[in-house]
Structure 1
Amino acid sequence: AIKAFQQVLYIDSSFSRANEVHLRLGLMFKVQNDFEASLKHFQLALLDSGQCSFTKLEIRFHEAHLYELQGKHKVAQDAYDKLLKEAGVSGQLRADILRQLGWMHHTVDSLGDKRDREEKAVNLLQKSIEADPKSGQSLYLLGRCLASLGRIHDAFLAYRNSVDKCEGNADTWCSIGVLYQQQNQPIDALQAYICAVQFDKTHVAAWTNLGILYESCSQPRDALTCYLNASRSGTPHNQNPNLALRTRFLQQQLAAAPMPSLARPKTLLLTIEEAWNLPVAADMNQRGGVPRNANTPNAGAAFNKQQSQHAPPPPYQQHQDAKRFKSDAPEQPRPQYYLSTQQIQMLHYLQQNQNSITPQQQQQLQHLQHNYRLMQQHQVQLRQQQQQQQQQQQQLQQGNPNYGGSVRGQVNYPAGGGGPAAPVAASGQGYLSPRPHTPQQYANNNANAYTNGTYTPQPQQLVTGGQTSNGTNYYPEQQVHASQSEQPTAPRGSATTLPDPTTVSDQELQELISQKEFTESFAEDLLNRLAKGENVMDELNRGELDQTALPNTQFSSSTMPDTTPRLDSRIVKQEMDLKPANLNESGDLEGLPPDIKLENSTDVEVKPSMLAAEILAACRSRGTLARNMCMLGENHPPPCPPEPPNTRLNKDQLVPPTASVLLENKKLAFSPQLQEFCLKHPIAVVRGLASALKMDLGLFSTKTLVQTNPEHNIEVRTQAFQPADKNLDPNNPDRVTWPCYSHRSHTTIAKYAHYQANSFQESLKEEQDRIAAGGQRTEDSKNKKKQLNKMLKFGTNVDLSDDKKWRLQLQELQKLPAFTRVVSAGNMLSHVGHPILGMNTVQLYMKVPGARTPGHQENNNFCSININIGPGDCEWFAVPDAYWGVIANLCEKNGTNYLHGSWWPDLKELFDENVPVYRFLQKPGDMVWVNSGCVHWVQAVGWCNNIAWNVGPLTARQYQLGLERYEWNKLQRFKSIVPMLHLTWNLARNIKVSDGKLFDLIKMCLVRSLRQVCLSHDFVKMCAIEVKFHGRARNEASHYCGVCELEVFNVLFVREIDRRHVVHCIDCARRISQTLEGFVVLEEYHIEDLMEVYDQFILHAIQSQSIPGQAPTPPPSSTTPTPSALAT
């Protein structure tokens, strides 16, 4: 969906409902935790003056919610407070704002003293409930706050009222279970947790708390079952290591325990299988009361045995439509061949020890296996009966809209039958198919629960599922509360017009999916009729083909972790429930014609063969078509990552040798063959360059830098120490992950130099102590975690562009060959006309061992030069540009963003995806040439400094890759720091092109940008606004839209915002005001000057041999390339 919406905006940037697209993109990016992208789209939707299904206030609410998720609590609080003061805030939106504010006061320490915060949180949530009495979510959160204040009775009443408002809320039942467990009522807690996991089979918190409950009651097998379900319900990349350790510990202890007896041991609680299959909800619906005090004796009765005045409250209101887990029909008797929990455990034990059991046990195993097969067959029959009943019920509902009856999709299962919702047994057998879920944070569990072969329950200390803003302090509750409810969600689409969402069960979703496949069957029917020669076009135009309307289903909400900025994918169920104002209750569009007519495009067509005057004439009086456009060509499809080469690489080809050459003298360094050699390979190492050119690299040493400019400001990245070939999860050193985390700060060269020297001295002392002790390096998990806890500082982006401060250093770089220099006529980036820090200026990097530059491609796919100053080495990893699409997909799969995320690839995953990886060491004095589009990542092996910058060879391939990335960035709403339009016009002014392909690419960009300028001029005239000449100052930076960050060339739409003059592109200006009211329009170049440059840009004859444009990089071979020409 994100890709489709992005392509809509790319293909037609002036789309009339662009605000709706931005709104949905903002919601989807928020669900994916891409908060920066989400905020950008919400701001674009907010600036749009067109009609929208969300009010401006609701969009502002989503912006405030994003600040809250990012941990910017003060900014979020101010935004919420401003919204409350607005006159047009609806009751529903006011309730949502108060709910968010209340929960922030409960969870954020920085908002004041804990006691005051809790009291204010209760007050705000009570106001939220007053504004929206039907909000079960606010009641649930109120219960959480009251429970933290020790007001158990009030908390329980709030939970009960929440259940009355939204019956199917697993979060509420989980918290009720926590309350019971804290009050020492294990049986009642068991009932509540069972309710929670039956409502949501992937509820990690409920499964975990249930496991803790079973452990505290000395039932380790049931505890293991619950922990396994919690592990399988969580997302694989966010599994908590403590839960995994606890699971492994129980598995080991149970495997070493004696063989279980067939006689059932006496236990306080029912087993998980028995509890699952009892009509818990129906039973609790018949019981009332409040939780007992901690000193009240526990009745110890099993489910449905007896009622008590201290039993749990009724979970639902007493009305006909109340949902239950079981229907009111009498429960069917369980067949005799059904296995009990103990028999299943015995079966599992006998199967594991099949080679060493006695003949009597062998006979017992066969009997149990036979009954187990019968039980499975019976369960399959029950499922088929259930599906038939669902189909019959669906038909009745379709025939009678007012069809009532009992709960949809509920069927009795015999006790012990398991059914589709039964939990996974500890033996691995079971029927649950968990969905991804975000796990919780856990405290370390006591691993000494077993002593002398017997099980001893240990008190479990688990946190409530969220961290405070500093990531270390936890809330006072000992159990894990519901993960989804820690952070209340943003409101549904239009809070004043949308009806309350209803819960959709798994079975209802299955029914929806199993209906006649809407789009596929419709398309297949058309194709079949067309194949038979039938004319269906008239019917299409009249709208007479059979149309099957999808049901207007709405999803129930769930909530997010309270402080951790991660969203469960289920939040989309509420936030994506958008209903535009022009939709009626049946989901039909009102006010639209019944058929859709396709009309021929009225766009202005221009060709590179046209003269500038012809382009100007074609655009005259067509200003309404002015918009941002693609520079790749007419009707060019939206850019997309390339498909990887089809060649299947063998083991050796997956680790190809890196192209390298050793320079022995200055003549070889300046030979044209060296440039040809570098351009032939994705990445190349030129060894001995500094010595061959007699360069003084000492000018870039830490000592010289401190002597030259000690107070020069540098950026510092604080990172965790990692092994070079892996990126380990700091919380789980056994798990490899892709996302990298670092903290950004600033310091001076002198201070970092002091840190760099101290780091070396400390490492030297540690090594000497280790050698003296005769110790060896260990690689156990404990040592890994210790290493991951070691933090290091990486001095990055040291700007050396000021030729007054760094004159000697910049002069030394003039010794390099022309194609590698920072400033050169053959370097495209030298024609930009203004500095781009780190690209056409030099940057220095100060490193200690382990300092990392995460994976990336260079900005706009330009080439890169990197020289190691030393004294230590750097290890490089690189992938040819043909495979960047694969890496982009792997980044998305591993929960990070390819363009603006920070990631370190897993080599094993790359090899599994047939991606070759170059790996080599860069020694002091070596120059690494990174070719266009090459993906690379670097880690320092020793203490060293590096200098780097970008270059742009005048080749067709370099220009094409740069322009393609420019358009890809535009599609992704990512800023291109190389202004390709400005660069293109400067290239047309400054160079004579003899390469036909390069000429065609530049000419196409010129003609399309000139067309955009002409149309923009015409549109401004239509708005009766005068275009004022602004011109360009020397070294003036190119302009970007202050809203969408797109490059704005020549025609600048300027608007004053907060006493600042902000440049806008044509699209953003028109969205704000169709008549450009409030805008001043400036011009950088007279249109006559542009026309002259355009007409004078012609293809010149080849006078001397130049390096042709390089073809796409082929898959690497297993042979090492040798620059034979360099040897002569």
Structure 2
Amino acid sequence: MGPARDEKRRFDELELATFIPQDICDAQLDRLLYQVYLILKINERNLTGGHATLLKLIQERYSDLTVKKGILYGCRGDDPFKEYDSDQFDNIYVDNDSPVKKKEEPFQGVPVSRILSEAFPTPSRIPKPSSISPGSNSSSPKSRRSNSNSKCSLAFSLFSPLKVPLDISSTEIFSTCAENTQERGLGIVAEIKTDEIPFQPRPCRSKVDCLTPKVPLIHVRTYEEAMSPAVRNLCLENSIAMVRGLPNVLGIDNAAFSTKTILKLAATDELELREQWFMPTRTNVDSEGSQTWRFHSFKCRSDVKTYAEYQGLSFESIVFEATQFLLDHREKQIKSEVNSDEDSDDSGIKRKKKKLANNGRKANAVLRDKIYFGTNVDFSSPKFHRQVGELQKLPSFCRLKDKTNFLSHLGYDLRGMNTAQFYMKMPGCRTPAHLENNSFCSVNLNAGPGDCEWFGVSYEYFPMIDAMCKERKIEFLDSSWWPDFDDLMAAGIPVYRFTQKPGDIVWVNGGCVHWVESIGWCNNVAWNVGPQSVFQYKMNLIAAEWNRIHKYPSLVPMQYLSWQIARRMKIDDPELYDLIRGTLIRSLAYCRSVMDYVDSRDDLYLYVLEEGTENTTSYCSKCTSEVFNILFTKAFVEEETGRQLYDTLCCKCAKLDNDPKLEVWQAYTLESLAKTLDEFKLST
């Protein structure tokens, strides 16, 4: 028996796949050989033995094949000057004199800003109630005794309709709350059903000729073009886009992200392994060989050194397999010329293969071999300062740290979101379909040397994909799944499909469902950003509410982040300002109602956290919703260790629990929150 799935894997416990079986189809063989050729051609001057032999064999098989700047030209059936997979792209050239030049007809997709145009009402148009006096001091933010029937049982919702104007002051908020203690929402917000899904886009079944849209490919050739607003605007207005040329013109050193470099820095660092079946592209089958959406991707652990050895050995294995396969299809006299080279490689690879486990069950003709995907090497450690420094050369809208990035103002590290993470791949490694956490944008750099294939679906078709998952008993957020391309085509759902080459940066906008497969050997670096835009903030609110309703914890606490934005950022977009201010009003009123509930119970005592306490965010252990500012904690003893730990509850769940042993902690005084709200102004 092999190790448990979550145990740490040793090198000899990693299985090595057979990548080129005798029955491989030409398309799959070409796909693999192109990736081998990329690596061999780049290192042509240093090749000897079997590597040199294989390069010669591949060049004979594909007489027009060449590499220019890491990109293949002249593949089988293509013009010698045609870039590999270039028909997937809508080429866009940024020009200094005019904002954008397009080589082809522009893709007639829906700009992302229009997808959410009907998602939010404009609360600023609500008339100010005459009962509220601007100078009223009938209630102060200080805690006071209130009616024991406080309406804290109302769950906090980012989508609760406001019943007050957006220019309401904190004093007016507290006055309204005091006058409406028996009303759910305290006169500030209208009640919303707890199971009411927020705004859902209206998808339309696309025409057959629009089901495979071209992805915008933005070419930058100078520093000025890279930093121009046109690049940012093109990315922000498309569900998914790719930028080519940034590392070259900005002086980003891709070698900083090579396996060799990372191995020197972090050989013993733990990384997460994903055990997967090696399958032909567009194929995903179950143990019976039937096409399925469920995807086998089990989690285990290893370290960087182990995976680096495995990644390198997988390349040597394919070199050996490809050489033998091509020799078997050549004249005998050519085979005899290279026998001496191949004999040494043969014995070496066979010895290495014997070191590897062969305990995987060959379930069927497709599920024959397992592969491993090395993920989540986090760059938050100071030892990765060089890597982070290279990423900071990017344009401001996609930098890891930037004053215009919402996530830069969170105040603490969220690994993989406002810290970059490193991924090590070999052919066939798959990232299953998913939305980014809280629907933040993501940036993905392919450091090479091989390619990745991407699939993406715009947010407007999210309801259709969600429904298709439910039909197959797949949990959209929790399950590991790989959509069937033909199923999506039959349902009329357009799918972006394109190849990310070395140095290419993929921009994934909020709400875009996407999944990725490595075609060759490559390392990728990815992180999330929150551009200062209306669409991004709307998507964040929708995702947080969707998560709350489905009892799925939001990795980014939107109440907390909104207060951080108000404290730290200057907002000059009136619509974005209104959205953020609306969140603050809801949050402050809810904090007031929670304080009323605490005051109404004689058995509860309020503790105040020390000023400056880091990361005061928490989530309810029962309903998983964000618990902001006022935390109800409950002690329990962990059975395995005997340690005393604490559960956190939201006000609604605490009221239902009604435990007299609850402790209540407050992170911010109502005075300080009121001051932040009143000082949050639209920048001009």
CA distance in 2, matches of 1:676, 1:743: 38
1:1078 equivalent to 2:661? Answer: yes
1:1043 equivalent to 2:627? Answer: no
Aligned to 1:958, which of 514, 532, 536? 536
1:795 equivalent to 2:374? Answer: yes
Q: CA offset at residue 1037 of structure 1?
A: 5.3
Q: Select between 741-750 and 634-643 the one with higher mean Cα deviation.
A: 634-643
> Partner of 1:890 in structure 2?
468
How many residue pairs get matched? 487
1:767 equivalent to 2:322? Answer: yes
> Partner of 1:1062 in structure 2?
647
Task: Give the letter aligned to residue 541 of structure 2.
Answer: L
1:1004 equivalent to 2:582? Answer: yes
CA contact (8 A) 1:606 1:1011 kept: no
1:720 equivalent to 2:288? Answer: no
Q: CA offset at residue 605 of structure 1?
A: 5.3
CA contact (8 A) 2:400 2:528 kept: yes
Identity %: 38
> Partner of 1:709 in structure 2?
266
Measured against aligned partners, the alpha-carbon deviations of 1:258-280 in whole angstroms (never above 9, x if no partner) come to xxxxxxxxxxxxxxxxxxxxxxx
**Given the superposition, is the C-alpha separation of residues 676 and 698 from structure 1 closer, same or farther in structure 2, using an over 3 Å criterion?**
same
* Higher-helix-fraction structure: 1
Q: CA offset at residue 921 of structure 1?
A: 0.4
Q: CA offset at residue 610 of structure 1?
A: 2.3
Aligned to 2:506, which of 928, 939, 951? 928
Within 5 Å, give how 1:122-137 maps onto structure 2: none
CA contact (8 A) 2:296 2:480 kept: yes
Q: Secondary structure at the match of 1:785?
A: coil
> Partner of 2:119 in structure 1?
none
Aligned to 1:667, which of 208, 224, 234? 224
Q: CA offset at residue 739 of structure 1?
A: 0.6
The alignment's C-alpha RMSD in Å is: 2.5
CA distance in 1, matches of 2:599, 2:486: 59
1:834 equivalent to 2:392? Answer: no
> Partner of 1:1100 in structure 2?
683
> Partner of 1:971 in structure 2?
549
Aligned to 1:1088, which of 667, 671, 677? 671
CA distance in 2, matches of 1:757, 1:938: 21
> Partner of 2:172 in structure 1?
614
CA distance in 1, matches of 2:412, 2:284: 38
**Given the superposition, is the C-alpha separation of residues 625 and 766 from structure 1 closer, same or farther in structure 2, using an over 3 Å criterion?**
farther
CA contact (8 A) 2:184 2:191 kept: no
CA distance in 2, matches of 1:984, 1:931: 20
Q: CA offset at residue 657 of structure 1?
A: 0.8
Task: Give the letter aligned to residue 724 of structure 1.
Answer: T
Q: CA offset at residue 650 of structure 1?
A: 2.9
CA contact (8 A) 1:625 1:1015 kept: no
CA contact (8 A) 2:616 2:629 kept: no
> Partner of 2:524 in structure 1?
946
**Given the superposition, is the C-alpha separation of residues 832 and 916 from structure 1 closer, same or farther in structure 2, using an over 3 Å criterion?**
same
> Partner of 1:872 in structure 2?
450
1:918 equivalent to 2:473? Answer: no
CA contact (8 A) 2:454 2:500 kept: yes
Q: CA offset at residue 1042 of structure 1?
A: 2.2
* Higher-strand-fraction structure: 2
Q: CA offset at residue 968 of structure 1?
A: 0.7
**Which runs of no fewer than 5 residues in structure 2 stay unpaired?**
6-160, 331-361, 638-643
CA distance in 1, matches of 2:192, 2:165: 12
TM-score, normalised to structure 2, is 0.68
CA distance in 2, matches of 1:675, 1:830: 18
CA distance in 1, matches of 2:217, 2:613: 40
Aligned to 1:814, which of 383, 392, 396? 392
Q: CA offset at residue 604 of structure 1?
A: 10
Measured against aligned partners, the alpha-carbon deviations of 1:396-455 in whole angstroms (never above 9, x if no partner) come to xxxxxxxxxxxxxxxxxxxxxxxxxxxxxxxxxxxxxxxxxxxxxxxxxxxxxxxxxxxx
Q: Secondary structure at the match of 1:1019?
A: helix
Measured against aligned partners, the alpha-carbon deviations of 1:652-703 in whole angstroms (never above 9, x if no partner) come to 3100111002221211111111101111211111012111112111111111
CA distance in 1, matches of 2:259, 2:185: 50
**Given the superposition, is the C-alpha separation of residues 716 and 840 from structure 1 closer, same or farther in structure 2, using an over 3 Å criterion?**
same
Q: CA offset at residue 901 of structure 1?
A: 1.0
Measured against aligned partners, the alpha-carbon deviations of 1:595-639 in whole angstroms (never above 9, x if no partner) come to xxxxxxxx99554332111211232386677899999x7648922
Q: Secondary structure at the match of 2:455?
A: strand
CA distance in 2, matches of 1:1093, 1:643: 33
Measured against aligned partners, the alpha-carbon deviations of 1:66-88 in whole angstroms (never above 9, x if no partner) come to xxxxx99xxxxxxxxxxxxxxxx
Q: CA offset at residue 1034 of structure 1?
A: 5.7
1:736 equivalent to 2:319? Answer: no
CA contact (8 A) 1:875 1:919 kept: yes
**Given the superposition, is the C-alpha separation of residues 848 and 1033 from structure 1 closer, same or farther in structure 2, using an over 3 Å criterion?**
farther
Measured against aligned partners, the alpha-carbon deviations of 1:243-297 in whole angstroms (never above 9, x if no partner) come to xxxxxxxxxxxxxxxxxxxxxxxxxxxxxxxxxxxxxxxxxxxxxxxxxxxxxxx
**Given the superposition, is the C-alpha separation of residues 914 and 709 from structure 1 closer, same or farther in structure 2, using an over 3 Å criterion?**
same
Task: Give the letter aligned to residue 825 of structure 1.
Answer: K
CA distance in 2, matches of 1:725, 1:869: 24
Task: Give the letter aligned to residue 314 of structure 2.
Answer: S
CA contact (8 A) 2:199 2:542 kept: no
Measured against aligned partners, the alpha-carbon deviations of 1:572-599 in whole angstroms (never above 9, x if no partner) come to xxxxxxxxxxxxxxxxxxxxxxxxxxxx
Q: Secondary structure at the match of 1:898?
A: coil
CA distance in 1, matches of 2:540, 2:225: 29
Q: Secondary structure at the match of 1:645?
A: coil
Measured against aligned partners, the alpha-carbon deviations of 1:12-40 in whole angstroms (never above 9, x if no partner) come to xxxxxxxxxxxxxxxxxxxxxxxxxxxxx
> Partner of 2:19 in structure 1?
none
CA contact (8 A) 2:273 2:373 kept: yes
Q: Secondary structure at the match of 1:729?
A: coil
CA contact (8 A) 2:427 2:520 kept: yes
> Partner of 2:76 in structure 1?
none
Q: Secondary structure at the match of 1:869?
A: strand
Task: Give the letter aligned to residue 240 of structure 2.
Answer: I
CA contact (8 A) 2:176 2:188 kept: no
Between the two structures, name the one with larger relative contact order (CA 8 Å, sep ≥ 6): 2
CA contact (8 A) 1:1031 1:1085 kept: no
Within 5 Å, give how 1:649-664 maps onto structure 2: 649-664=206-221
CA contact (8 A) 2:162 2:188 kept: no
Task: Give the letter aligned to residue 287 of structure 2.
Answer: P
> Partner of 1:450 in structure 2?
none
Within 5 Å, give how 1:199-210 maps onto structure 2: none
**Given the superposition, is the C-alpha separation of residues 960 and 888 from structure 1 closer, same or farther in structure 2, using an over 3 Å criterion?**
same
